[in-house]
Amino acid sequence: MQPKEMALEIARILDEKKATNILLLDINHLTVIADYFVIASGRSQLQVRTLSEEVEEKIAQLGVQVRRREGQGVARWVVLDFASVIVHIFHEQEREYYNLERLWMDGSNVIPLPQES
């Protein structure tokens, strides 16, 4: 699975599970840590945990294992590292506070999501 395909599939999974404010960023020209960030919010810690578990399970079914995960215990900001795609799932207050979009958006790297059409 190509990185962009995986990032779009993750965004679709998050949308299906009612994540909010889903954002897909192409960051490969800004850093070597990954090609894409998928950023989304959950309304509660339980939803953040459920979203992260669903993404990990569905992507594993496609043959891609998460390399590293952080934050599932507290579930305020969960990070799933799939090598070329890094997924950030925030509780709404943490997302507003850390504002990753401000750090990683350069005005040209937001990828439109099919579900937004």
DSSP assignment string, 22-54? EEEEE-TTT-SS-SEEEEEEESSHHHHHHHHHH
- Tallying the residues shown for the chain, one arrives at 117
- How do residues 18-56 score in pLDDT, each as one tens digit? 999 999 999 999 999 999 999 999 999 999 999 999 999
Q: Which fold would CATH assign to domain 3-116?
A: Beta Polymerase; domain 2 (3.30.460)
Question: Strand 77-81 relative to strand 85-91: parallel, antiparallel, unpaired?
Answer: antiparallel
What value does the mean pLDDT of the chain take? 94
> 52-67 burial, b if ≥16 CB within 10 A, otherwise e?
bbbbbebbeeeebebe
Helix pair 45-61, 3-16: axis angle to 10 deg: 140
- How do residues 54-77 score in pLDDT, each as one tens digit? 999 999 999 999 999 999 888 899
